[in-house]
Amino acid sequence: MTPADIQALGKVAVLMGGTSAERDISLLSGGGVLQALRSQGVDAQAFDPAERNLAELKAEGFARCFIALHGRHGEDGTVQGALELMGIPYTGSGVMASAIAMDKVMTKRVWLAEGLPTPRWVRLGVDEQQRERVRTVPDELGLPLIVKPPREGSSIGVTKVHGYSDMQDAVQLAARYDPDVLCEEFIGGEEVTCPVLGEGGDARALPVVRIQPPEAGYDYQNKYFTDEVRYLCPSGLPEAEEREIQRIVVAAYRALGCRGWGRADLMVRASDRKPFLLEMNTSPGMTGHSLVPMSARAAGISYEALCLHLLAQARLDDARPAVAPGVGTQGHLG
């Protein structure tokens, strides 16, 4: 992008922080994005919706927003809806795709309707969390199994349950973060993740990242604050296996109506190497430990170039990308 193209992007708000359980990670992501955009000459400013009214975005003349919020009131369609009403283009998926992808149960329903593989599950509503009902879940899904809040991320409130006696505590933990609780079949194998850039027929997968966690598991602490987890990119998977993961991820992304960017998390079952979709992140992390920048680097895209590209694709639900003059829909990555 030329200096004129960058200037044409206008005044940019990097939305970070927010009120979700992932606030601290969002501040790290937003700080990285802010620094990257400023290093490229973008007039970018930090904006924390937990501390300022969103209406100030319009009043202060922001031309577009880079959404670096994670979790509720940032990744779930609510902020996207507010920006739609104000007419301020933003990065990432629109209102509907953001709302669906934030809810893992709704996401699974869409994927199953499209014939895409996802682990079996049981949803426990507020009125289904009595001990008698909870104890029957392992009979349906087997053991071990995973219990998690369906509308949180970053492994918050997640428990791997090994026995019937652990179920009630796991459900109570998940219910601290979400009224509903998602119980999911455990897929034994390798965890992988795969980012996607673009929209519709132009959406394309970036290289797969293979995750090798320590014995303690791939939890919140290990995801963001230690160097105990090994990330392999290139993944080292057989080429055909990587291509199949990428195919499934792009299909999952399109099925939800995502745009801009996203990152799908999957398990590859050890017994038959079949991939299973776990979730789609529509506002992925951009911290020093984050996986989209790692995958992008393997594809020859720097962190700064990735941030600029995503910003150039900012748009509203009812409009084509609000690209700066001289920048095509593929941005400078085209």
Q: Of 29, 279, 290, 331, which residue is the catalytic one?
A: 279
- Whether 224 is catalytic: yes
* Residue 274: both structure tokens together: 């079949």
- Whether 281 is catalytic: yes
Q: Of 20, 235, 281, 295, which residue is the catalytic one?
A: 281
Q: Of 5, 18, 22, 84, which residue is the catalytic one?
A: 22
Dist. CA 32–CA 8, nearest whole Å: 22
What Cα–Cα distance (Å) separates residue 164 from each residue in 157, 275, 292?
Answer: 18, 27, 37
Coil/strand/helix, residue 12: strand
Q: Of 17, 153, 260, 285, which residue is the catalytic one?
A: 285
- Whether 265 is catalytic: yes
- Whether 263 is catalytic: yes
Q: Of 26, 93, 154, 290, which residue is the catalytic one?
A: 154
Dist. CA 121–CA 116, nearest whole Å: 14
Q: Of 254, 265, 290, 315, which residue is the catalytic one?
A: 265
Dist. CA 229–CA 257, nearest whole Å: 31
What Cα–Cα distance (Å) separates residue 59 from each residue in 8, 86, 214, 323?
Answer: 19, 10, 48, 22
Gyration radius (Cα) of the chain, Å: 20
What Cα–Cα distance (Å) separates residue 326 from each residue in 128, 144, 292, 306?
Answer: 55, 54, 26, 18
Q: Of 224, 260, 262, 331, which residue is the catalytic one?
A: 224
Secondary structure tally for the chain: helices H, strands E: 13, 13
- Whether 164 is catalytic: no
For residue 191, how far is the Cα from the chain centroid? 15
Dist. CA 324–CA 251, nearest whole Å: 29
- State the catalytic residues: 22, 154, 224, 263, 265, 279, 281, 285
